């Protein structure tokens, strides 16, 4: 399935959920799926199975034809151009002060490529996480301590970090200013 279609399906679910003022955990509970799975679907990181997709559409009380209206199967082109206003806000569960803006998500040669802007607010909080792939971080502005396994790597504007996402990790902003980072994920498909 085309990566852009996956992204459009996830975006449509999120838009409908937010328009109906339903919280992520509420929709997940009603659809009998985990918050983590719903977050991955909304962020275009995984393809929902047909039963899961139908359950989400049913719980959102939207007609099938209305849901799929505007989700075209066309794609192609030799490049992707995104304007800043087209970036998609991403919700991540269990994170405070982590503001994600999805720039692009694309499948390339059996890997998923995803680029986001992450803004870390002062006093942001999240537990360490792991991902199925590799991560590249580039600090656009501010300073951040990156907790990577048992190590702490200090990063300043212009610094970068590349690592295996299976190492538990979390960025920590200890300053009173927001930190902005470009984050690139190279995700390995899980079977």
How many Cβ atoms from other residues are within 10 Å of residue 71's Cβ?
13
d(CA 22, CA 20): 6
Domain assignment present for 147: yes
Whole-number percent of the chain with pLDDT over 70: 86
- Considering the domain architecture, whether residues 105 and 47 belong to the same structural domain is answered as no
d(CA 34, CA 45): 14
**Cβ-contact 137, 171 below 8 angstroms:** yes
Split at pLDDT 50, 70, 90, the class of 93 is: low
Domain assignment present for 73: no
- Considering the domain architecture, whether residues 182 and 129 belong to the same structural domain is answered as yes
Split into its structural domains, the chain has a count of 2
Give the range among 65-69, 75-79, 83-87 with minimum mean pLDDT. Answer: 75-79
Split at pLDDT 50, 70, 90, the class of 178 is: very high
What pLDDT, on a 0 to 100 scale, did the predictor assign at position 94?
A: 78
Provide the CATH number for the domain around residue 55. Answer: 1.10.260.40
Q: Is 97 helix (H, G, I), strand (E, B) or coil?
A: strand
Split at pLDDT 50, 70, 90, the class of 1 is: very low
Residue 180 in tokens? 């902005």
- Considering the domain architecture, whether residues 98 and 151 belong to the same structural domain is answered as yes
Which of 33, 68, 103 is at the close of a domain? 68
d(CA 69, CA 66): 5
More confident residue, 65 or 161: 161
- Considering the domain architecture, whether residues 117 and 156 belong to the same structural domain is answered as yes
Q: Which single residue is written with the structure tokens 């679910």?
A: 13
More confident residue, 13 or 7: 13
Residue 17 in tokens? 């959920």
Average of pLDDT values for 20-49? 88
Domain holding 34, by residue range, is 3-68
What pLDDT, in 10s, does the model give residues 45-74?
777 888 888 899 999 998 877 887 766 544
- Considering the domain architecture, whether residues 62 and 117 belong to the same structural domain is answered as no
Provide the CATH number for the domain around residue 90. Answer: 2.60.120.10
- Considering the domain architecture, whether residues 45 and 90 belong to the same structural domain is answered as no
Residue 169 in tokens? 């990790």
**Cβ-contact 58, 48 below 8 angstroms:** no
Look at residue 44 and tell me whether its pLDDT is greater than 70: yes
**Cβ-contact 179, 190 below 8 angstroms:** no
Domain assignment present for 76: no
What pLDDT, on a 0 to 100 scale, did the predictor assign at position 27?
A: 93
Longest dimension (CA), the chain: 51
What pLDDT, on a 0 to 100 scale, did the predictor assign at position 74?
A: 47
Q: Which single residue is written with the structure tokens 């459009």?
A: 8
């Amino acid at each position: 399935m085309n990566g852009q279609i996956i992204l459009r399906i996830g975006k449509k679910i999120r838009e409908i959920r937010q328009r109906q003022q339903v919280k992520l955990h509420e929709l997940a509970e009603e659809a009998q799926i985990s918050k983590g799975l719903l977050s991955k679907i909304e962020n275009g990181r995984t393809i929902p199975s047909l039963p899961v997709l139908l359950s989400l559409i049913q719980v959102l009380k939207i007609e099938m034809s209305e849901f799929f209206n505007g989700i075209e199967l066309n794609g192609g082109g030799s490049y992707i151009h995104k304007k800043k206003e087209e970036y998609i806000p991403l919700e991540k569960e269990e994170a405070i002060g982590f503001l994600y803006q999805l720039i692009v998500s694309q499948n390339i040669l059996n890997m998923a490529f995803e680029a986001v802007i992450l803004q870390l607010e002062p006093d942001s909080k999240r537990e360490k996480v792991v991902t199925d792939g590799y991560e590249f971080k580039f600090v656009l502005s501010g300073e951040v301590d990156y907790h990577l396994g048992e190590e702490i790597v200090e990063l300043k504007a212009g610094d970068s970090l590349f690592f295996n996402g299976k190492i538990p990790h979390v960025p920590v902003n200890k300053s009173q200013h927001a930190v902005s980072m470009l984050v690139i994920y190279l995700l390995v498909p899980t079977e």
